[in-house]
Chain A
Amino acid sequence: MQIDKRAEGFPYRMHLMSLRSAEFWKKTGIFWALVILVIIMALSQPAFLTQQNLINILKQASITGILAVGMTLVLLSGGIDLSVGSVLAVACMAAAFMTTADRGYPVIVAFIAGLSVGALFGIINGVGIAYIGFAPFIMTLATLSAARGLALVSTNNKPIFNLTREFVAVSNSQFLGLPSLIYYFAATALIAYILTRFTVFGKWIYAVGGNENAAKFSGINVKRVKVIIYGIAGALSGLTGVLMASRITSGNPTVGEAYELDAIAACVIGGISMSGGSGSIIGTVLGVLILGVISNGFDILGISSNYQRIMKGIVILLAVYIDIRARSAKKTI
């Protein structure tokens, strides 16, 4: 970089610039991690940077992405939701049930069914946590198990198939050259971004996660906020269930197993604090993309998915390490 040394007040400006650049790297570190990852993948496999492949990455990351957005809200409030994968499966069954060719309800019914089933589980989680006082980990662990069981008994383990063409088109159609799933993810992320950044409710989420007691004394109805947050996360799991049913053209009770871990991983990589109160949706989106690039890139390179798991583990630790360093650096400045 060229610096004009003749400029007045040079030392002062230098100081300002270094401060700014430290802040800059801290804020955008995860973005650069994604860029570096993309460059590595592109160099090692030319097919990576094709239009079709980039679209594939976005499409395949969308379902985890929507779950991760819901997870972000929960983590920001200082909780955790382990039940998202199982709730996804119940909603998947509900949506498929409504749209089999012989029932043939319109697509909107599948969305209503899936979203309300999801929201219901979310509200149960929220009430259990906020009003009864179960620890979030315990409450959602119980839901993880119960919801999966419910998905399985709903049809006695059998998948639901033969869904209407209109419903199958939900996840398998294109709009302006991009798969529809990408729009669902983009819309979810955008709405969540606005919710967390520009609304009072967003401030409440951060307040509850940052210091629950302080939030309570400042007049926030912490319990209700929590129920709403878990309700939103549940509804988003429900949405992914509907999209999943359409993508796999059936209702399958075994889908979504361990998806909660991917959602949590995406949040953590994106810098969402596990203790609540700090992080942003943009980070989560970047985390989702990083996971998507890893899994797609490794598939293309023909590397066994077992190595993907190892890689994911390393990336998670690395991301949190960078975060810790950035925080301590900020304190020393």
Chain B
Amino acid sequence: MKRLVVLILSVMVSVLLVTAGCGSAPTKPQASGGDAPAPAATSAGETSTVPQPPSKKVAWVASNIANEFTTGMADNAVAIGKEHGWEVTVFNPNSDLAKQISQIENAATQGFAAIIFDPVAFDGMNAVVENTMANHNIPVITLHGSVSPEAQKLLTAYVAVDLTKGGELKMEQVVKDLGGKGDIAIMTGTEGQTSALLVTQGYDNVLKNYPDINVVFRGAGNWNADDATPLAENWLSSGKHLDAIVCNNDGMALGVRAVLQAAGLTGKIKLYGLDATKEGRAAIRDGSFDATIWVDSYAEFVEAFKIIDAFYAGQPFEKEVMVAPSLVTKDNVDQLFPND
């Protein structure tokens, strides 16, 4: 019986190989095409070297879809893609780097016309970017996050909110609210992740000018309220004095808010988020958040789809687009978000 299993396995493998062999013929010219015009364009003959989209599908490979901001990103991707005439498929690697690499490989070989992705990690994508750009003549764009300079150089374009700038804007507001002196705690996103590093870098850029602002705690709340809640509880129960808790995103700040409310400390300890999600804006309005930063993923996707359209129209486009972040406080929230 074991022999039978082995036999069947080998038959399966040979069938796979045969199928693979047959499939290889049509894909080869595409693979060797490199950055030359796509096969569709060459077969059209008289047309110029403008690449033709292989399909009407665009892949949005998220970093995760675990909080209101990233959920909003996925919605924006689909909605804005539709406006531009693309059918957007959302991939969710759940913050798993290897999974994200696989999804990009799959999207590229499946004939997607463009890939937009938010890298799980800054340094992890070199090989997949190299392979994808060498074998597929489609626009590949990083959005929100970025990859290492060498990989970024190969990519079609880069669209992002200047997160470090956002971190700086927010920390300046913190310093202003505290009058340049006080004890604060910093809650970061998942350790080692690009966007957490960039935002926190912005904090530190400002903090080094204010020696009287004392950072009592630094800890990772992993972008979500579940992990932020126990962390904030532990900080409060340590008995150390705190004037403000500064969070890398609104999702964690919402978790902290519940802890502050339960402890009767709302307003006594100032609270800062980032993203200006819908709930975050409501928290600004009711005074439970003191400030947040509007990270405009809508504007990011508008820029990304402009680039894709320009790519297939043979028009020039910017390789690097930085969407400016804005500080959101009680004073300007209604002005920035009149439709809430």
Contact = CB atoms under 8 A, between A and B. Distances in A.
Interface of A: 23-24, 27-28, 31, 35, 47, 49-56, 59-60, 63, 152, 157-162, 168, 171-172, 244, 246-250, 252-257, 282, 295-296, 299-300, 302, 304-306
B98 A247 contact: yes
Interface stretch (B119-127, B157-165, B318-326): B119-127
A20 to B, nearest CB: 9
Q: Mostly helix, strand, loop or mixed at chain B's interface? A: helix
Contacts, number: 134
Interface in B197-250: 220
Nearest to A292: B102
Interface stretch (B16-24, B175-183, B289-297): B16-24
Given A157-B192, A247-B127, A51 B19 contact: yes
Contact of A249 (B90, B109, B125): B125
Nearest to B57: A302
Interface stretch (B5-13, B257-265, B275-283, B308-316): B5-13
Contact of A31 (B12, B90, B122): B12
B190 A54 contact: no
Interface in B89-103: 89-99, 101-103
Contact of B124 (A152, A250, A299): A250
Given A28-B5, A51-B23, A252 B106 contact: no
B302 to A, nearest CB: 22
Nearest to A285: B9
A56 B4 contact: no
Contact of A254 (B1, B125, B192): B192
A23 B1 contact: yes
Contacts of B35: none
B334 interface: no
A60 B102 contact: yes
A250 B193 CA distance: 13
Given A159-B124, A299-B106, A254 B97 contact: yes
A300 B106 contact: yes
A302 B191 CA distance: 30
Contacts of A306: 92
Q: Mostly helix, strand, loop or mixed at chain A's interface? A: helix
A253 to B, nearest CB: 6
Contacts of B89: 302
A51 B24 contact: yes
A120 B251 CA distance: 39
Contact of A172 (B12, B109, B131): B131
10 contacts: A24-B1, A31-B8, A49-B19, A51-B27, A172-B127, A172-B131, A254-B95, A254-B97, A255-B98, A295-B102
Contacts of A304: 90, 92
Contacts of A161: 122-123, 148
Nearest to A32: B8
A56 B109 contact: yes
Contacts of B21: 51
Given A56-B102, A56-B106, A244-B98, A31 B9 contact: yes
Contact of A63 (B16, B22, B98): B98
A247 B101 CA distance: 9
Contacts of B148: 161
A35 B91 CA distance: 26
A282 B192 contact: no
A257 B96 contact: yes
B200 to A, nearest CB: 11
Contacts of B99: 305
Nearest to A50: B23
